[in-house]
Structure 1
Amino acid sequence: MNHLDQIAKIIQQANSVAILTGAGVSTASGIPDFRSSEGLWTEDHAREYYMSSQYFFKDPVDFWNKYKRIFRLKLLKNYQPNKVHQFFKRLEDAGKDVAIITQNVDGLHQLAGNSRVVEYHGTLNQASCPSCQASYSLDYVMENEIPYCQEPGCGDILKPDVVLFGDMITAHDEAEAILDHVDVLLVMGTSLFVTPFNLLPEYAAYRGIPAIMINGEPTGKDYLFNHVIHDDLSKVVRELSPLID
């Protein structure tokens, strides 16, 4: 039995699957991987500062100008789920309990139809008022160069619902709780560079959960996984799908 056959058998026999995803899952949809060696992130090392909660509260007007440009918000609705997103949906359609824990903020897992998605780093699709917590859609954000809260007596500048540098991660406990009850962990398209997201595979290893890593390049956490594939994600799911169906 070859490597791919073994992975297919593990997934096939699992009733519940937790899937950790990163930017590599969305690149086939045309969304840049900001942290890859060829991604937009390397163009400007100041992005971490400008995309911080500290900078938002220091200069929210300039923050929004940079935020919209960095995340290419005007293009967001042009992006569509790709074969990798669709693979996850097919697992759910096959009757598996699928929980996706994603670093991605593009909303493509929901658009693909997966019903249980934890947006670990928030979402580009909404913004909220830091004063009154009123929530606004991406359409409203895009209609206004600087989005202000419209609630009576408020008028504060909205803050995006993406987790900015310096913000608290609020989804980690939920993610660990999911891992407490799954048969297998599948990790795809992430370098596992960012903490505390990269602690989740360690938690799974501690729990003795079989784990599979599929990524375009090696990561510093590969040793935690029972099976590791370094290859193009779309190619892997194209070869893996018929073995599971």
Structure 2
Amino acid sequence: MYKTLSLHLRHAENVVVLTGAGASTASGIPDFRSSEGLWSEDNSREYYMSSDYFFHNPEDFWKKYKAIFRLKLLKNYRPNPVHQFIHELENRERNVTVITQNVDGLHQLAKSSNVIEYHGTLNRSSCPSCGRSFSLDYVMEHAIPRCDQCGKILKPDVLLFGDLITAHEESESAIKEADLLLVMGTSLFVTPFSLLPYSAAEAGITSAIINNEPTEKDGLFDYVIHDDLSQAVKQIKTFL
């Protein structure tokens, strides 16, 4: 299986990689949606991490947001072999587009040049009034971060519950132009991200999924591998 998938990767000129929490767990970032993850600990967290709550009580929102997402730890996380493998595919003179559910920015730290952050990012916040963008460093310097121009409380660029998905059409378009779709480290449980592999299936694009456990969408793929991602990329690289 690994050898055949590697052969497809070797000859593909346009690869789209979908990544989920499994791509970042080896960097020490927890899978918030696992059976023991952040969102299962307290259902009220989905309420607090909503766009409605931000606009209703932005001061308290920021206190909870910083604690829940452990923002002070974000700078400690580094790319792992999975992120590096995806970047190395790009180094082999093929076009690689990463579409990630992850909000940690590790694909960019690994130097991937074309990353669609489907659920936004923890690394930036924006002013809901004037649109100015602010770094994570700026946010961490202020208990309640405000725009330095108009004074409005900033809104994080991560997708909150109730926010509209803005990257879906761009993601579908990228997949439809691919020679190969590679899905890594996601259960494909959260919609509408989970619908993206259908674009490849409908277009007859070769596809593969690598995840540490079966998913309900496994039947959509030409190649299905259940393995730890760090071990999987080692196997693939031996045949590239």
For normalisation by structure 1, the TM-score amounts to 0.96
Secondary structure at 1:160's aligned position in 2? Answer: strand
Cα distance in 2 for partners of 1:177, 1:160 equals 26
Cα distance in 2 for partners of 1:44, 1:241 equals 40
Paired AA for residue 240 in structure 1: I
Identity of aligned residues (%): 64
Q: Who is 2:124 aligned against?
A: 126
- Stretches of structure 1 that go unaligned for 5 or more consecutive residues are none
Paired AA for residue 220 in structure 2: L
Q: Who is 2:62 aligned against?
A: 64
4+ residue segments displaced more than 6 Å: none
Q: Who is 2:205 aligned against?
A: 209
Cα distance in 1 for partners of 2:230, 2:70 equals 23
Cα distance in 1 for partners of 2:47, 2:187 equals 21
Secondary structure at 1:61's aligned position in 2? Answer: helix
Question: Which of 26, 29, 32 in structure 2 is aligned with 1:31?
Answer: 29
Query: How far is the alpha carbon of 1:117 from its aligned partner?
Result: 0.4
Q: Who is 1:177 aligned against?
A: 173
- Stretches of structure 2 that go unaligned for 5 or more consecutive residues are none
Secondary structure at 1:131's aligned position in 2? Answer: coil
Q: Map Cα deviations across residues 13-65 of structure 1 (whole Å, 9 max, x no partner).
A: 11110000011100000011000123222211122111110111111111111
- Are 1:200 and 2:203 matched, yes or no? no
Contact 2:176–2:199 (8 Å) recurs in 1:
no
Secondary structure at 1:6's aligned position in 2? Answer: helix
Residues 1-245 of structure 1 correspond to what in structure 2 (within 5 A)?
Answer: 3-151=1-149, 154-244=150-240
Q: Number of aligned residue pairs: give it.
A: 240
- Structure 1 vs Structure 2 CA RMSD: 0.8
Q: Map Cα deviations across residues 180-228 of structure 1 (whole Å, 9 max, x no partner).
A: 2110000001111111111100111011111100011111111100111
